[in-house]
Amino acid sequence: MPHPEQLLFTKASENDITHLKRVASYIDNRTYFGDKIYGNVDFWSEIEQTNNSRMLTPIKDIKGQHESQKKREKAYNDLFSKIVFSVRQPIESLFNWLIEKTDIQRASKVRSTKGLLAFVCGRIIAAFIYLIF
């Protein structure tokens, strides 16, 4: 199971990509592994140049790409995507483990921001203590 380097809490209404772009601008020398939706090439090209960090995502099919070119690149694209998925699998397992052990998504009785932070942080701390022992 992976060990998180950083946990961030954002509003549910805030898009993950928006937040990731803001945070990635300040972190150097990292390789991120994300879903296809995170593959904003322009942004990551800039981050790779300025921060020596990059995002690896499964490869999307390109609309309008010629069929012969698709077939030629299929083996590479499939293998690359499989590797990215295999790295992401433990991360997804960590998320599922946290949800299963903490029931973190059930905070319906929390009525304030401070209460929500206490609820979430308390449950995450308890889960990691459980993991250690």
Query: DSSP letters of the chain?
Result: ----S------TTS-HHHHHHHHHTT--S-EEE--GGG--HHHHHHHHHHHS-EEE-PPPPPTT--HHHHHHHHHHHHHHHHHHHHHHHHHHHHHHHHHHHH-TT--TT--SHHHHHHHHHHHHHHHHHHHH-
Query: Domain range for residue 111?
Result: 103-133
Whole-number pLDDT of residue 29: 93
Residues 7 and 30 placed together within one structural domain of the fold: yes
Residues 114 and 94 placed together within one structural domain of the fold: no
For the chain, what is the domain count? 2
pTM (predicted TM-score): 0.70
> Tens digits of per-residue pLDDT, 11-44?
778 888 888 888 888 889 988 888 888 877 788 8
Whole-number pLDDT of residue 42: 82
> Tens digits of per-residue pLDDT, 96-112?
888 888 888 887 778 88
Residues 112 and 74 placed together within one structural domain of the fold: no
- pLDDT, averaged across the chain: 84
